[in-house]
Amino acid sequence: MPSLSYLVARLLQIIPTFLLVMIFIFLLVRLLPGDPAIAMAEAKATDAQLEQIRHNLGLDQPLPVQFLVFVKNTLTGELGRSIMLKAPVTEIILARLPTTIFLALYSVVLAIFLAGPLAFLAASRVNTPVDVAIRGVFQLGLSMPVFYIGLLLLTVLAAQLRWFPVGGYGKTFLANLYHLILPALSVALYTSAIILRNLRASLIEVLDADYVQFARAKGLSPRIIMTRHVLRNALVSTVTLLGLSIGNLMSGTLVTETVFAIPGVGRLMLEAIFARDYPLIQGLTLTFAVLVSVVFLLTDVVQSWLDPRLRQS
Amino acid sequence: MATQEKPVVLDVRHLRTEFGTRERPLVAVDDVSFQVAAGEILGLVGESGSGKSITLRSILGIIRPRGRVAGEILWNGQDLVPLSEAQLRRIRGREIAMIFQEPMSSLNPLLTVGLQISENLVAHTDLDARQRRARAIELLDLVGIPAARNRLDDFPHEFSGGMRQRVMIAIALASNPKLLLADEPTTALDVTIQDQILRLIQSLSRDLGMAVILVTHDMGVVAETCDRVAVMYGGRLCEIGSTADVIGDARHPYSLGLLRSIPRDVAPRTPLYSIPGAPPALNALPPGCAFSARCPVAGRECPDLRPKLEAIGTSRLVACHHLEDAQAHFGPREAAQ
């Protein structure tokens, strides 16, 4: 297992990342054209009223002070009020977040179950028709954008065959599994294509490695050779890739959630952007940054658990 | 070779290992026969691609890519060639162990050394966890790893190259094998470490009564370590006999050439002898003698007519049509120096 000091060191690395993200968000909003006070005030507001709004928002303070206030508010979970929905940003995001996380995890699990066994099959039959067929099908998945796969699945499986719902979100866990299968699948097809390519290649490499031959010469059972020696080594690079594609997948939810009308943070982000709802955009950007950082942190922890050479801090 | 007093443990008869299609096979090992007696160290010498490693791997049935093995590999009288994977697993690592050339890449980088020893014991013994740990410490101690007790939980990257080779030997020795197949165990190591590892293998063979087949391309290693030597070229045996015979009084033109390319008692700045040409590709071997294309004494019949292994004296076999010419060709060497 990774040592405690490794975990602490890795956690500390998140701080500069967040600091950068916050500076970026802070500047972005202030560099955008337009005056939030005018946007918030009524059309006939006097200069004095606008000044009052600016004062209430703290916009009359120097930038560094504004930044510190922003950091303090963020750390206490105070992300302001959404202009569009007229509710606290934190509440809105927390209400929508579980759906998106559920969808992301669902598609990752689907992708792993799709890519894992097929990568094994392809790697154990390199350059046979089976291998070529598997690679061909997944190459197709890789070359189509996620929203297109989504629309295709919608048209065929939902609209014509009526096997699955066209969109929405269920109430229970099982209902969610059923409602979200098409969006999860369309994301999973793409992700699994990436995983399959990488896992197949590293499996082929590891199967030929000296330590696997040595394990065979030791008279170990095929099951132990496969799990302990082959799979574990092949997973080291695939885990990195999986982490990266979950990062990608987060931004992919913007499109998927819109295509399938799912009330998650991805679609919310899109709506917020169209409505120029700056507090909400800020909050969502921060949320995505946190999610991606957590995923990368988990990736690193899993990797250092797999590979002792990465544990030296 | 009927001269050994000790019983023969391994008797390889007409071993043939080929890859590729049946119509156009690539023959990596062709009609190789030799015996290994209990506690004996047999050297298997030849250039890269001469089939040494494939011969070793054929014995354990671990050649990759999967090839076809024919002939007989009699291990204490039992033929290993027709055995199933499951039956072979009870011999691999338990009765016949193997160590590899690259200590850097032959240990699993993700597992502790203790686990890599212990999994061997799990597969082949009934020891419980505590006994396995004790045995692992004993083994690391045996191969000369200092502070063995504290190294079980270390990973391979925490050992030096020579120490990793010792670890690999410890793993191989875990369940007291009767034969150790050593595939160029010292090639990747520094010269001083090479010597230590060879001495270790030698003393282990003596103390544990374990036979060893030592594959190498280094005649010096053979002279130092082995009881008997087999010289291979192009997948075939050229000469096999006692180390004294083969090193001291080689007869096959290839063995003579190999020996002559070792620097011994020569004046400084004397160019070393090198055998002209390069080893043939597997798909370009002549039907006759494999060495004929590079042989200084080859006659017209050599590429077409395969020479048989014939006895010279009591403990040596040589396969060559032109033994006297070879002696005459390589003989003047001593006079010249």
**DSSP string of B28-47, one letter each residue:** EEEEEEEEEETT-EEEEE--
- Does residue A123 lie within any of the structural domains? yes
Pick from A261, A249, A240: nearest CA to A292:
A249
Q: How many angstroms separate the CA of residue B101 from the nearest CA in chain A?
A: 9
Whether B332 has its CB under 8 Å from any CB of chain A: the answer is no
CB contact under 8 A, A211 and B120: no
- Does residue A83 lie within any of the structural domains? no
Whether B52 has its CB under 8 Å from any CB of chain A: the answer is no
Q: How far apart are CA B307 and CA B319, in angstroms?
A: 5
Q: What secondary structure letter does DSSP report for A204?
A: H
Beta-bridge mates of residue B212: B41, B180
Low-confidence ranges of chain B (pLDDT < 50): 1-4, 334-337
Q: How far apart are CA B254 and CA B291, in angstroms?
A: 7
Closest CA in chain B for residue A228? B111
Residue where the block lists tokens 């008692």: B265
More confident residue, A38 or A185: A185
**DSSP string of B114-138, one letter each residue:** HHHHHHHHHHH----HHHHHHHHHH
Chain B residues lying within 8 Å of A216, measured CB to CB: 60, 62, 92
Whether A312 has its CB under 8 Å from any CB of chain B: the answer is no
Q: How far apart are CA B119 and CA B335, in angstroms?
A: 57
Q: Any idea of the CA torsion for B74, B79, B82, B86, to the nearest 10 degrees?
A: -100
Same domain as A231, residue A162:
yes
Beta-bridge mates of residue B231: B45, B239
- For residue B223 the two structure tokens come to 């002279």
Q: Residue A113: pLDDT above 80?
A: yes
| Segment A291-304, tens digit of pLDDT | 888 888 888 888 88
Same domain as A288, residue A186:
yes
CB contact under 8 A, A220 and B64: no
Burial of B191: CB neighbours in 10 Å, binned 0-12, 13-18, 19+: exposed
Same domain as A202, residue A134:
yes
CB atoms within 10 A of CB A143: 10
Same domain as A233, residue A162:
yes
Q: What is the mean pLDDT of chain A?
A: 84
The span from the first CA to the last CA of chain A, in angstroms, equals 14
Residue after which a domain boundary falls, among A46, A75, A104 = A75
Backbone angles phi, psi at B291, to 5 degrees: -85, -5
Q: Residue A165: pLDDT above 80?
A: no
Same domain as A231, residue A137:
yes
Q: What is the domain count for chain A?
A: 2
CB contact under 8 A, A228 and B119: yes
Pick from A167, A179, A299: nearest CA to A236:
A299
Q: What secondary structure letter does DSSP report for B232?
A: E
C-alpha dihedral sign at A255, A256, A262, A265 = negative
Q: How far apart are CA A219 and CA B5, in angstroms?
A: 31
Contacts of range A70-78, beta carbons closer than 8 Å, 24 or more positions apart:
A70/A22, A70/A26, A71/A22, A74/A22, A74/A286
What's the pLDDT at A55?
80
CB contact under 8 A, B110 and A218: no
Q: What secondary structure letter does DSSP report for B269?
A: T
Residue after which a domain boundary falls, among A23, A44, A75 = A75
Q: What is the mean pLDDT of residues A63-86?
A: 84
Peptide bond into B65 cis (omega under 30): yes
CB contact under 8 A, B93 and A217: yes
Pick from B27, B28, B26, B24: nearest CA to B49:
B28
When mean pLDDT is compared across A128-132, A145-149, B130-134, B317-321, the lowest value belongs to A145-149
CB contact under 8 A, A214 and B98: yes
Burial of B93: CB neighbours in 10 Å, binned 0-12, 13-18, 19+: buried
Q: How far apart are CA A36 and CA A280, in angstroms?
A: 13
Contact between residue B174 and residue B121 where contact means Cβ atoms under 8 Å apart: yes
Domain that holds residue A269: 89-310
Residue after which a domain boundary falls, among A27, A48, A75 = A75
Same domain as A122, residue A71:
no
Q: How many angstroms separate the CA of residue B92 from the nearest CA in chain A?
A: 5
Q: Which of residues 233-252 of A touch B (CB under 8 A)?
A: 233, 236
Contact between residue B147 and residue B172 where contact means Cβ atoms under 8 Å apart: no
List, in order, residues 6 or more apart from B108 with CB less than 8 Å away: A211, A215, A228, A229, A233, B116, B156
In the chain, the amino acid numbered B53 is S
Q: How many angstroms separate the CA of residue B168 from the nearest CA in chain A?
A: 9
| Segment A203-243, tens digit of pLDDT | 999 998 999 999 999 999 999 999 999 999 999 889 888 88
In the chain, the amino acid numbered A302 is V
Same domain as A202, residue A288:
yes
In this complex, the residue of B89, B157, B181 whose CB is nearest that of residue A309 is B157
In this complex, the residue of A214, A221, A308 whose CB is nearest that of residue B89 is A221
In the sheet that holds B8-20, the strands lie side by side as B25-37, B8-20, B68-75, B78-79
What CATH number does domain B8-95+177-265+272-283 carry, 3.10.450.50, 3.40.50.300, 3.30.70.1450, 1.20.1250.20? 3.40.50.300
Q: What is the mean pLDDT of residues A87-105?
A: 89
Q: Any idea of the CA torsion for A178, A180, A182, A186, to the nearest 10 degrees?
A: -140
Same domain as A57, residue A97:
no
Question: pTM of the predicted model, to two decimals?
Answer: 0.80
In this complex, the residue of A211, A219, A306 whose CB is nearest that of residue B93 is A219
What's the pLDDT at A167?
66
Tell me, rounded to whole angstroms, the distance of Cα B32 from its chain centroid: 13
Contact between residue B246 and residue B231 where contact means Cβ atoms under 8 Å apart: yes
Contact between residue B164 and residue A211 where contact means Cβ atoms under 8 Å apart: no
In this complex, the residue of A215, A220, A307 whose CB is nearest that of residue B110 is A307
CB contact under 8 A, A228 and B111: yes
Same domain as A109, residue A143:
yes
Whether A96 has its CB under 8 Å from any CB of chain B: the answer is no
Same domain as A105, residue A60:
no
What's the pLDDT at B260?
82
Q: How many angstroms separate the CA of residue B123 from the nearest CA in chain A?
A: 6
Whether A224 has its CB under 8 Å from any CB of chain B: the answer is yes
